[in-house]
Amino acid sequence: MTERDTGRRAELLAKLLDYSAAHGLSEVSLRPLAAAVGSSPRMLLYFFGSKEGLVREVHRHARDVQLQLLADALADCQDRTDALRALWRWLSSTAHRDVIRFFFESYARSLQGGAWEGFGEASVREWLPPLQQALGGSEAEATLALAALRGLVLDLLATGDTERVDAAFEALLAGM
């Protein structure tokens, strides 16, 4: 792939992630997807090989973006409470609802295999080391924190009850 192709592929990945966050990837076919991101089905196949390859690459890119956001959120944290609060602010922000919805769509679909296979497991395995380091605890504590945060975010997305879910987050902090 030429340098120009690499740049165009990266540009398409960013647009595909934006589209996916807003609309999901589950039911979309290549023609409308290509039109939405300013490309053609032929070019998407050139860059990603197949729709399954495209889905896998969008998910890999989404995880890379999330890991960078995780690193940014944890960069200035002094202790586990700071770390958890920083993560909660990012995860519960209304500005990130589309991205979080896409994450949960992908996570659930990964349990069935196909193009989504491995997404859920990779997202857990990639988040645990930085979270464990930020919390200064064991892998089990990082697993518990990650599961609790994701559960709270899922509840928030389902109900929109910010006050109740924020209170639950505070209870989580008190127990950790």
Q: Which domain holds residue 25?
A: 3-175
Per residue of the chain (176 residues), what is the pLDDT tens digit?
Answer: 677 778 888 899 989 988 888 887 777 788 988 999 999 999 999 999 988 888 888 888 888 888 888 888 888 888 889 999 999 999 999 988 888 888 898 899 889 888 788 889 999 999 999 999 999 989 999 999 999 999 999 999 999 999 999 999 999 999 87
Q: How many domains does the chain have?
A: 1
Distance (Å) of CA 9 to CA 41, 61, 65, 67, 88: 13, 11, 16, 20, 32
**Cβ–Cβ under 8 Å, residues 74 and 134:** yes
> What's 96's domain CATH number?
1.10.357.10
